A and B are shown apart, each in its own frame.
Chain A
């Protein structure tokens, strides 16, 4: 394990030539370890070198106001974000919905965005699925209760992060050691590029911070449905941000979590919401539109009515 003190040292320590499937990379970044440790324990990742970034000076731990927005350091904890009363509600609510209080104490924002899928075929030591460089997604014809209904193929994972849909709803940017990436371009569908990865980061690229602006008049909410009350990943989740003009929606950003391999932005539904008043009819139409393209697998059809209901609930909460 290496403990670099600067971003440059950390980047240099990472293997930039890596062409292996993501989980077989020989060097891995460790932040809070709340996802990497489970991966190591289950032998999903067996890196030769772990680069522990806790001492990297350039990686902030603060949730900071800057100008008309916020800058959140890569090492800011989920606990700090959950407690923050200044950030938009969608973000603090998403943070508070993550895991248990104990996990939130150490879990970081960058680690949350880069966590690996929870699909049990990926998490099983005994399968080499598409996500691990194999040639089949076993969820497709297997036990797929928790898998994707939108954007699936050739892999049907759902992106597990709760912060991801919230940050897409805030139109955030991900700042790395070398570039700034609009969050809408950060996550990748398995059909678009290397199916063993969930985002565009290079093997030696490190997230420095996440930033977004907050324009006046926007309101937002995060609604997450989990299988058990205590703590769990989302079966489905809705991140909704609206700018209201009187009681009409002037602008909307609607993003689904837990249903697709990336946070799933519903652009046509956003158009449909524009200029309308929030009522039951609109909530119904929005749900029909957002889930119109859904293609459920054998055991996950329940996610369609569930997600429609969550969209209606999110709209009602902001009305």
Chain B
């Protein structure tokens, strides 16, 4: 056992965990943060993706002991960080995924959105090729990826004030509908 001091979603936490535990095990089984999913448990699927100092890592292959003194962001941390930064409602990337219908079973989504989030933090106007490359470590078995890429493009368009591209399925509308309210509040931004 080892006592680890970690910064998770802006909070300082102290957890006891065996030496060989991965970050994914600590997040799920010590901190109750079940948003990070365990798929393959060997680096192939990206469902466990979290951010370490803002960079995406595979939590199932990251030894928790390597994370001391570093900043960890999980999917649970995105919306609160957005609100702390003065935004309203969900994080814009989450919001865009929601409105584009970029999910079916949802298992890949936390990892997918964190990879997208890290890309946009680093490069606010990526090309479609760059989006594909940034999401190449996140497997989705349901959607076929089209709506996922469109969601990232919608988030980019809204952040830069550009007109979002017409999603492939939209026959009558040029942008996916924006809900009037989220949890009774006005939609984000």
Contacts and interface: CB of A to CB of B under 8 A. Distances in A.
B interface, over-half SS: mixed
B55 interface: yes
A99 B133 CA distance: 11
A38 B134 contact: no
Residue from A33, A52, A105, A106 with most neighbouring chain B CB atoms (10 Å): A105
Interface residues of A, number: 25
Contacts of A229: 136
B65 to A, nearest CB: 6
Contact of B43 (A3, A34, A54): A34
A282 interface: no
Contacts of A105: 52, 55-57
Residue from B42, B63, B138 with most neighbouring chain A CB atoms (10 Å): B63
Given A1-B19, A37-B22, A79-B55, A102 B63 contact: no
Interface in A213-234: 229-231
A41 B62 contact: no
B7 interface: no
A229 B139 CA distance: 12
A229 B115 CA distance: 18
A152 to B, nearest CB: 27
Given A41-B41, A41-B42, A101 B63 contact: no
A106 B137 contact: no
B141 interface: no
Interface in A19-76: 30, 32-34, 37-38, 40-42, 50, 52, 54
B110 interface: no
Contacts of B63: 30, 33, 37, 52
B45 to A, nearest CB: 10
A101 B136 contact: yes
A34 B19 CA distance: 16
A102 B20 contact: no
Contact of A52 (B55, B56, B58, B65): B65
Contacts of A230: 136-137, 139
A100 B49 CA distance: 11
Contacts of A33: 61-63, 66
Given A41-B42, A100-B46, A54 B56 contact: no
A181 interface: no
B93 to A, nearest CB: 16
A37 B66 contact: no
Interface in A73-110: 79, 99-103, 105-106
Contacts of A231: 136-137
Residue from A41, A100, A231 with most neighbouring chain B CB atoms (10 Å): A100
Contacts of B139: 230
Contacts of A32: 66
The 3 closest A-B pairs by CB, nearest first: A100-B137, A230-B136, A1-B19
Given A230-B136, A231-B136, 20 more contacts: A1-B2, A30-B63, A33-B62, A34-B43, A37-B22, A37-B61, A38-B42, A41-B41, A52-B65, A52-B66, A54-B66, A79-B55, A99-B43, A100-B58, A101-B118, A102-B46, A105-B52, A105-B57, A106-B52, A106-B62
30 contacts: A1-B2, A32-B66, A33-B61, A33-B63, A37-B22, A38-B42, A40-B20, A41-B41, A50-B19, A54-B66, A99-B43, A100-B138, A101-B56, A101-B133, A101-B134, A101-B136, A101-B137, A102-B43, A102-B46, A102-B49, A102-B115, A102-B137, A103-B43, A103-B61, A105-B52, A106-B52, A106-B61, A230-B136, A230-B137, A231-B137
Interface of B: 2, 19-20, 22, 41-43, 46, 49, 52, 55-58, 60-63, 65-66, 115, 118, 133-134, 136-139
